[in-house]
Amino acid sequence: MTVNTAKLGGTASNVTVAKVAHGLMTMTWRGSEPVPDEQCFEAIKAGIDAVPPGAKMLLNSGEFYANDLGTGNLELLARFFDKYPSYADKTFLSVKGGVKSLKPDSSPENLRRSVDNINAVLRGTKRLDLFECARVDQNVPIEEAIKTLAGLIKEGKFDHIGMSECRAETLRRAHAVHPIAAVEIEVSPWSYEEEVKKVIATSQELGIAVVAYSPLGHGFLTGAIKSINDLPKDDSRRHLTRFGEDYIKHNLTLVEELKAIAAKKGCTPGQLSIAWVGSLGAKVIPLPGSSKKERTLENLAGGDVLLTETDVSEINEALARHEVKGDRYFGNSEAAHLWG
């Protein structure tokens, strides 16, 4: 397998990563019991091993990625790098933080607490390459939050600043204070609203990488989910609006078209979605999650699927014909702190 690569932006513009990143959230925050360490380690290691020399695997974690909203995901990473210390230099670690009880808190005190906590849990096994506030705190001007983070960089606590779930205007304001290396937003064939397009365009203008989370629509675009009953009873996706019985049947019509296009391309529907997201820009990096080695490698191969102009047009026409029903989370964008 030939793994394509991409460059990050801002202060990390000299960093080359795999075109498809690896989201780690579902290893420890999934509603059900966490995945065994060895299975997770195999999934992480397989992705890193596939990356060409000179490039790194972008790993995406969070300070609160655990069923108890604790540091379980970071603890898992520390155990991984304990076992495979040579893999630390082969990865670029991005961690979300800056929240309290899942609410944004970009006060200087909380940002320092968050960064210090992340580093303490990592125990020196891996450098914190990039820190990003998981959501934009509307009570703190973005300029002040970025100034705080820039100060923590000067103290040597981490290296690069990222953004998450922010509007294009907010991204521009943040970048004016300190170069932003990457912005993390949801991008997929069923999450391609106007603000997504604006953020991608602004990122291209400013040279910022776009880390596109949920490129598989939380798994829906793989074609494996045809009913809410296909999800375990404790699966958190049952609470997402688009997975409700009122919407899922309608939204499946888009998936069926994508499956047909994928069959013609000789790839899986998931790989087609990843390829489409990646086609949106040289610095657009799909971020699917995976806790299985086989899925990690399948996702990576999606970054190697080359879409022709005809392919892209066919996919875009399918998106235009099938308007997705339901919002991205659970019917309350304000409570989800989207587009800060």
Cα torsion 186, 113, 207, 136 to 10°: value is 50
> Contact, 28 vs 65, CB < 8 A?
yes
Q: Where does 188-244 have alpha helices with state H?
A: 194-206
Active site residues: 65
Q: Identify the three-state secondary structure at position 49.
A: helix
Bridge partners (DSSP) listed for residue 212: 185, 286
Spatial distance between the Cα atoms of 211 and 208, rounded to a whole number of angstroms:
10
Q: Identify the three-state secondary structure at position 92.
A: strand
Question: Count of CB atoms within 10 A of residue 14's CB?
Answer: 7
| CA distances in angstroms from 267 to 31, 166, 270, 303, listed in the order given | 30, 32, 8, 11
Spatial distance between the Cα atoms of 45 and 50, rounded to a whole number of angstroms:
9
Closest Cα to residue 329, out of 213, 230, 250, 222?
A: 213
Residue 78 parent element (H or E) = helix 72-83
Spatial distance between the Cα atoms of 163 and 190, rounded to a whole number of angstroms:
22
